[in-house]
Amino acid sequence: MHSIIFATNNKNKVDEIRSVLKNSFQIISLKEAGIDIDIPEPYETLEENAREKSNTIYALTGKDCFSEDTGLEVIALNNEPGVRSARYASDHDFNKNIEKLLLNLNGIDNREAQFRTVISLMLHGKEYQFEGICKGIITSAGAGSNGFGYDAVFIPRGSNKTFAEMTMEEKNKFSHRKKATTKFVQFLTDLNGKD
C-alpha cells in the first residue's frame, strides 16, 4: 500500500481524510512520522500556504507527502476569514473565531459562504494541486457538537443541518475536503494504473 505523509498536526483533519480514503493509501500524520514542527502559513492564498507546508515536509523527509489549507469565505465579508480562518480572532480558538464571525455578520442578510480546500501533493519532487468547494450559509447561532472549526455555524447547500450536527458520513456527502480528496485520490489511482 502506498504510504504518504499528511503535513498536518490537526487530528480532526487526519481522521476526515482517512474516512474518505478508507484503505486506498496509508496516511501517516506528522506525529506518526516523528516530525514535531509547526509549519508557518505566511501567505495570502490557500494555494501558497498549502504549497509551503508540502514543500517543507518534502524537503525535510524526501518522501511523498501532501498538505491542505482550508478557508471559510463569507461573501458579505469580502471572503473573510479566508486564509486566516484558524486565526481570525484567536489562534485556533474556534469559539472566539465563531464569536467574531457572528458579530461581523450581525444585521447582514446575505449569509452566503463557502468552504474551500486546496490540497498540495508533492510526488517524486513535483507538486500537484486539487481544489474542493462547498457552498452554504452561516447560521445566526451554533448548533451541533460534531466536527471542528466553523462546522457549528455552517449549513451546506442542500441540507438543513450544520456540519456539526452531521455524522462524518453525512458531512462527506457535502464536504469541501472530501471533494478535493476525491480528485487527489483519483489522480493517485490513475497514476498507479500507469505504473
Model confidence pLDDT, tens digit, residues 32-78: 999 998 888 889 999 999 999 999 999 999 999 999 999 999 999 99
| Candidate list 15, 64, 69, 91, residue with the active-site label | 69
Q: What is the pLDDT of residue 15?
A: 85
The pLDDT-based confidence of 1 (bands split at 50, 70, 90) is: low
Residues 177, 117: Cα–Cα separation, whole Å: 6
Residues 53, 97: Cα–Cα separation, whole Å: 23
pLDDT above 70 for 139? yes
Cα separations in angstroms, 23 against 60, 114, 173:
26, 29, 19
The pTM for the full model equals 0.88
Contact 85, 71 (CB under 8 A): yes
Angle between the 176-194 and 11-21 helix axes, to the nearest 10 degrees?
50
69 is catalytic: yes
Residue type, 123: L
